Amino acid sequence: EAGVAQSPRYKIIEKRQSVAFWCNPISGHATLYWYQQILGQGPKLLIQFQNNGVVDDSQLPKDRFSAERLKGVDSTLKIQPAKLEDSAVYLCASSLAEQQETQYFGPGTRLLVL
């Protein structure tokens, strides 16, 4: 079974530029998550989708971050404009359902904002 796919794996941009990340979850997984992991910290949930609907985006900085999952399968996370403090690993995860279901993570996208 294929795992969660993410691209790109690495990205370097200058502050105020925009960037987009892509995630393709495990086939059949209804729930998709985007996390931000700053160096030395645990992952922090940014947004959670159930199919193509948003379940939780309370920790998403909506003035600069946006995410969509239009067809309920793959998803994109965008940052516009980027700030230095956005440098982090962006992890995508998916699970079969919502509550009490194991989340499986992709390899992440490492973003460096200069």
Partner 1 sequence: SQELEQSPQSLIVQEGKNLTINCTSSKTLYGLYWYKQKYGEGLIFLMMLQKGGEEKSHEKITAKLDEKKQQSSLHITASQPSHAGIYLCGADGRTPLVFGKGTRLSVIA
Other beta carbons less than 10 A from residue 82's beta carbon: 23
How far is 95 from 31, CA to CA, in rounded Å? Answer: 5
Q: Is 22 in the site for partner 1 (CB under 8 A)?
A: no
- Are 5 and 23 in contact by the 8 Å Cβ rule? The answer is yes
Is position 62 an interface residue for partner 1 (rule: CB under 8 A)? Answer: no
Shortest reach from residue 23's CB to partner 1, in Å: 11
DSSP secondary structure letters along 45-97: EEEEEETTEEEE-TTS-TTTEEEE-TTSS-EEEEESS--GGG-EEEEEEEESS
Q: Which of residues 26-45 bind partner 1 (CB under 8 A)?
A: 33, 40-45
User: Measured from the CB atom, is 27 or 99 closer to partner 1?
Assistant: 99
* Min dist. Cβ of residue 51 to partner 1 (A): 17
The residues that touch partner 1, with contacts defined as CB under 8 A, are: 4, 6, 33, 40-45, 48, 56, 58-59, 89, 91, 93, 99-100, 102-108, 110
